[in-house]
Structure 1
C-alpha cells in the first residue's frame, strides 16, 4: 500500500505547491515511486513546476471526474524532468514520479464551480492510481481551506503536512486545520513554516509553534531571493541543490519517509 501524504494550507499563497513538488521530487530521486495529484481544481498550477506543457495534456483530473478517462490516463511521467534515470537492464524498480494535473481551461474550472463533482470519486481514483502505478507515495496537493474534497483527502491520509507562513492569519487558520485533522484521526501531522525571514530566530519559532499546536514542526523554510527569480519555472531543489532551502526540504522529506 502506498503512503498518502496530503499537503494543505488554510490560506492561499503559502507556497504549498512548490513545497509539494520539491518534497515529491526528493523522495522519487531516493528511488521511490511517487504520484502527485493536483486537487486544487479551482486554481491549478503545479504542472508548471514540472514543465508540463498544457498543450500536450490530453487528459486531466477533471476528465476523470467527468468519466471521460481512467485515472491513470491522466497521469504523466515526469521522471526525466526531475532527472531520474531508469535502472539498467530493468534490475528492480527505479524511482519514478507521475503527475495528475487539473485543467487550466476556463470552461472546465467554471463547470466545477457551477456543478461541483462527486468528491468520493477522488478517493476511488487515489486507490486505483496507487495500485496501477505501484506507488510508494501519493502526494495530494489540496485546495486551501476546508471543503468536502479536502476533508475526504485528509481522512485517507497517512500524513498531513500543513504549510503556513509566520503570519497571524495563518496561525489562526492552521489551528482550525489541525483541529479538523485530529478529529479525523490522521495518524501523523507535520507543520512546515514557509517564507520565514532569515533574521527570525528559527529555534525559538519552532519551539513556539510546537508548544502552541502540540504538533511537530518538520521544518522552517527561509524566504529567499533565488525562489523569486526562479518564478515557478523549475524544481528549486534541482536548480539549487546546495541551498539552505533545499537542505531543509531534504530534512522534511526524510521525516516523511521515516514516519511510521
Structure 2
C-alpha cells in the first residue's frame, strides 16, 4: 500500500480539497483508497462526505479503538477515517510528550501495514504547520505532497518548514512534490513561481511541481459545499497529474 501525506505550511491552501479529489480520482481508476483525516482541530470530512462514523481518528489516537474500527465507506468509491468534532486541549494528540507520539507512530505504521491487503493507497490529510503528529505523518509516507498558495509568505514559510521538518526525511528516500494551488491568472505569476521553484530545487532538491490556477467556477462550487469536483475538466486534469505522481 502506497502512503501519501498531503501537508501545508498554513491552513486555507486547499489541502483537504486536493486530498479529497485525489482520493476520488484514484478510486475512479479502480484503486482501493483509504483517506485519513488527521486535522483534529479543524475537522471537515464528516460534513463534506456525509458519513456517520462510530469511531474517529481522535478515538484511535487516544488509544480508544483499533484503526480498522474507524473506517467508513463513502459514496465516492473510497473509504475514509474522519476526525470528530469533539476534542479537548487535554487530548493526547496535543501533548508535547515525545515518547507518546513516538509510540503512536510505531502503532500507526503497523496498523497501516496490516491494512495493506485491503487498500492500494492511503492518503493522509495532515494538519497544517508542524508538530509531532505532522512529523509522524511525514515519516509514515512514501510520498509527500506540499500544498501552497502562490504567494511570497507562504512560499517562504513552506521552504522553512521543509528545511526544519523534512530535512532528515530526504535521506530516507521519500519523494516530494510541490502543488501550487489557486494560482492567479496573471502573466507575471509564471516568473515568480519559476524563481521560487529554483529555490526549492537548489536548496532542497525538489524537482516535482504541479499547478492549479484560480478559477471562479471552482470557488463557486466550494462556496456551495461541492468539494468533490468530478465535473470540472480543468480541475480534474491537474488532479490527474498529481495522480500520475502517486502512481510513479
Change (3 A) 1:183 1:13: same
In 1, Cα distance between equivalents of 2:147 and 2:215: 17
Q: What does residue 247 of structure 1 align with? A: 237
Q: Which residue of 2 aligns with 1:40?
A: 39
Count of equivalent residues: 235
Residue 193 of structure 1: aligned partner: 180
Distance 2:142 2:46 in 1: 24
Contact kept in structure 2, 1:9 and 1:163, CA below 8 Å: yes
Aligned pair 1:125/2:108, yes or no? yes
Distance 1:24 1:238 in 2: 12
Using the TM superposition, give the Cα deviation of residue 219 of structure 1 relative to its aligned residue in structure 2, in angstroms: 1.4
Helix, strand or coil: the match of 2:90?
Answer: helix
- 1:92-241 aligned at under 5 Å gives the runs 97-105=78-86, 108-112=87-91, 116=95, 118-120=100-102, 121-132=104-115, 134-179=118-163, 180-185=165-170, 186-200=173-187, 204-214=191-201, 215-231=206-222, 233-240=225-232
Aligned pairs for 1:69-88 (under 5 A) are 69-78=65-74, 81-82=75-76, 84=77
User: What's the CA shift for 1:43?
Assistant: 1.1
What is the 5 A alignment of 1:13-32? 13-32=12-31
Q: Give the superposition deviation at 1:32.
A: 1.2
Is the 2:150–2:193 Cα contact (8 Å) retained in structure 1? Answer: no
What is the distance in 2 between the residues matched to 1:64 and 1:246?
33
Gaps of 5+ in 2: none
Match of 2:63 in 1: 67
Tell me how far apart the structure 2 counterparts of residues 195 and 123 of structure 1 sit (CA, whole Å). 36
Q: Does the aligned pair in 2 maintain the 1:210–1:217 contact within 8 Å? A: no
SS in 1 for 2:91: helix
Residue deviations 1:54-96, cap 9 Å, x none?
xx22110111122322111111111xx22x4xxxxxxxxxxxx
Normalising by structure 2, what TM-score?
0.85
Give the alignment's TM-score, normalised by structure 1: 0.81
- Aligned in 2, Cα 1:114/1:252: closer, same or farther, shift over 3 Å? closer
Unpaired runs of 5+ in structure 1? 85-96
Pair 33,144 (structure 1): closer, same or farther in 2 beyond 3 Å: same
Shift of 1:253: 1.0
- Give the CA deviation at 1:115: 6.0
Residue 87 of structure 1 aligns with which residue? none
The question of whether the paired residues in 2 share the 8 Å contact of 1:123 and 1:153 is answered with no
Closer, same or farther: CA 256–201 of 1 in aligned 2, 3 Å: farther
Distance in 2, matches of 1:109 and 1:139, equals: 25
Q: CA RMSD in A?
A: 2.3
